[in-house]
Amino acid sequence: MNTNDLKETPHIKPNGVEIAETILLPGDPLRAKFIAENYLENPVLFNEVRGMLGYTGEYKGKKVSVMGTGMGSPSMAIYSWELINVFGVKNLIRIGSCGAMQTNIKLYDIILAMGAATNSNFAHQFDLPGQMPITASYELLEKAKKVADEKNYKVFVGNVLSSDVFYSANKTTATEKWAKMGILAEEMETTSLYLNAASAGVKALTILTVSDHMITHEQTTPEERQTSFTKMMEIALDIV
């Protein structure tokens, strides 16, 4: 059993509630609340510091936690580092939204992030004598693809762009350049998640739902992003 009941950090205070070894990490804390209330049995709130809601419950007999991470690499870096190094989490599955960069990818399509290109300098802290490939856990990736196939969910598997920039003066040019390299979509958190996991020897995977399109400029509403991205939630829960 996890022994994190007496531990806390400046950002996570479980108050004696166990954090499971497998955790789902949506960016939006209200998406964490939605998952806990609609998918988990006996969910218990373990965090509400800074409004970043976290819950632990059971799914098909397995203990699982879910917690919001906020937006951007620094926020994901803080929460994933603490979950791994303080609370002993072993499997971290980001379930987030993204902007599609390929014309054959549509709103609500699902992307499994095999790897992440990035404009972030997050890896600099590890003082590596070269460039580190930023990749998912193959075990989690393989399981997610199998679950998606069994559910007959269409998914795209490939590389995403994990960017530190949301509003950019040259967004159109940047999108064209990354799209030409086969990047499927843009998001903001995978770099720090995958690198923190790699440095600690644990497993991580990002599962994304397309919330907007960077070429056609279609987009979903905040309410839709909060409650209707159920397919990726089900994939993540079923690989637990």
Catalytic residues: 212
Annotation-wise, does 11 bind a ligand? yes
Are 52 and 33 in contact by the 8 Å Cβ rule? The answer is no
Q: Which residues pair with 46 in a beta bridge?
A: none
> Which amino acid, 79?
Y
Annotation-wise, does 96 bind a ligand? yes
Annotation-wise, does 94 bind a ligand? yes
CA distance 57 to 41: 6
Annotation-wise, does 110 bind a ligand? no
Annotation-wise, does 188 bind a ligand? yes
Annotation-wise, does 31 bind a ligand? yes
Within the chain, what is the greatest distance between any pair of CA atoms? 50
Are 53 and 65 in contact by the 8 Å Cβ rule? The answer is no
Annotation-wise, does 189 bind a ligand? yes
Per-position b or e across 14-40, b if 16+ CB within 10 A of its CB: beebbbbbbbbbbbbbbbbbbbbeebb
Torsion sign, CA atoms 189, 194, 199, 204: positive
Annotation-wise, does 50 bind a ligand? yes
Annotation-wise, does 187 bind a ligand? yes
Q: Which residues pair with 95 in a beta bridge?
A: 207
Query: Tokens in use for 192?
Result: 């720090």
Residues comprising the binding site? Answer: 11, 27, 31, 50, 94-97, 187-189, 211-212
Residues comprising the binding site for a purine D-ribonucleoside? Answer: 11, 187-189, 211-212
Residues comprising the binding site for phosphate? Answer: 27, 31, 50, 94-97
